[in-house]
Amino acid sequence: MEIEELQAAWLQMSTELKKQKKLTDDIILSMTKEKYQNKFKKISTYEAIGAIVCFSVALLVLIKFKSLDTWYLKICGLLTLTFLIVLPVLILKTLNKLKMIDISKGSYKENLSQFLKTKNRLLILQKLAIGTGFFGLFFIVPVATKIISNKDVFLTSLKTEQIVAIGVALIFVYFVSKGAYKGYKRLTLSAQELLKDLE
Tell whether residue 150 is a contact of other proteins (CB under 8 A).
Answer: no
Tell whether residue 104 is a contact of other proteins (CB under 8 A).
Answer: yes
- Could you say which of 28, 160, 161, 196 contacts other proteins (CB under 8 A)? 28
Inter-residue contact 95 to 47 (CB < 8 Å): yes
- Could you say which of 111, 132, 145, 192 contacts other proteins (CB under 8 A)? 111
Q: How far is CA 99 from CA 17, 142, 162, in A?
A: 32, 38, 46
Inter-residue contact 85 to 55 (CB < 8 Å): yes
Tell whether residue 16 is a contact of other proteins (CB under 8 A).
Answer: yes
For other proteins, give the closer residue by CB, 125 or 143. 125
CB of 177 to other proteins, least distance (A): 18
CA distance 37 to 3: 36
Q: How far is CA 170 from CA 92, 134, 152, 167, in A?
A: 28, 8, 20, 5
CB of 133 to other proteins, least distance (A): 19
For other proteins, give the closer residue by CB, 74 or 119. 119
